[in-house]
Amino acid sequence: MAGQPTYERLALAISNSALAQDTAAALRDAHDWVPQEEAEAVVALGGDGFMLQTLHKMLDSGRILPVYGVNRGTMGFLMNKHRPKGALVERVNRSRPVAVAPLRMEAVTQDGEHRIECALNEVSLLRETRQTAKIEILVDGKTRIEELVADGVLVATPAGSTAYNLSANGPILPLDSQLLALTPISAFRPRRWRGAILPDRAKVTFRINEPSKRPVAAVADQKEVRDVAEVHVEIARDSELTLLFDKGHALDDRIVAEQFVV
């Protein structure tokens, strides 16, 4: 593809699964792999969970590289197919880049602690006990739901719209839609509210009502903050990530295809 960079210094990121370890052993002599701190791009061997872990490490370190995933897990929604006979380095350099912007969550606990975490799939608020959560929802500073009584609520990116969001009956969002899904989780009141689709420039705030009686945890992908009082969520435009996909198997194609799965 004209104008597409050629990656010569590649690093391997390998999950702990036996399948990923065996694949890595077979690839050791296929390329002069370099440490990740010297690389131009990363080849990640594992499943979707490992891909998220790899991307989160980049966000935490501040050194963000393009990542080409090879599925050695289960679903592999964020990964490319493993082809034992294919020339992996050539596939990486023929791949199509897809930009993914994560969410930034700022959670304030009942004790006043502030935690900032990023999420590639979703930020979810979940009740911690048998008591339903009571949550006020504000969009761009304006109250839209005075009190959602539910197991929780989530904000999902287009990349994450086919994950937990879809399981909670949220909408599938095309990757280039510049939208966010705001989806209730097992809502009791208001019964007829099924969520909202928001522009990705929106800033969403959740305020917990009766937090001591009805404690709520906030989860950014896999990172949990318990006993929150207030949570702010918005797109982290300064932390955009790049995933590399084989032509015809890109994430945006998969998101469209997922809408026709029956």
Query: How many distinct helices (H) and strands (E) make up the chain?
Result: 5, 16
Q: What is the C-alpha separation between 229 and 95, in angstroms, rounded? A: 43
| pTM recorded for the entire structure | 0.86
Contact 134, 147 (CB under 8 A): yes
Q: What is the C-alpha separation between 231 and 116, in angstroms, rounded? A: 10
Contact 120, 54 (CB under 8 A): no
Q: What is the C-alpha separation between 44 and 241, in angstroms, rounded? A: 14
26-65 pLDDT tens trace: 998 888 999 999 999 999 999 999 999 999 999 999 899 9
Predicted pLDDT at 257: 80
Active site residue 200: no
Q: What is the C-alpha separation between 206 and 134, in angstroms, rounded? A: 10
Question: Among residues of the chain, what percentage have pLDDT more than 90?
Answer: 78
Tell me what the mean pLDDT of segment 152-161 comes to: 96
Contact 230, 207 (CB under 8 A): yes
SS3 255: helix
Q: What is the C-alpha separation between 84 and 11, in angstroms, rounded? A: 18
Catalytic residue among 48, 111, 140, 200: 48
Query: Residue written as tokens 């989160």?
Result: 56
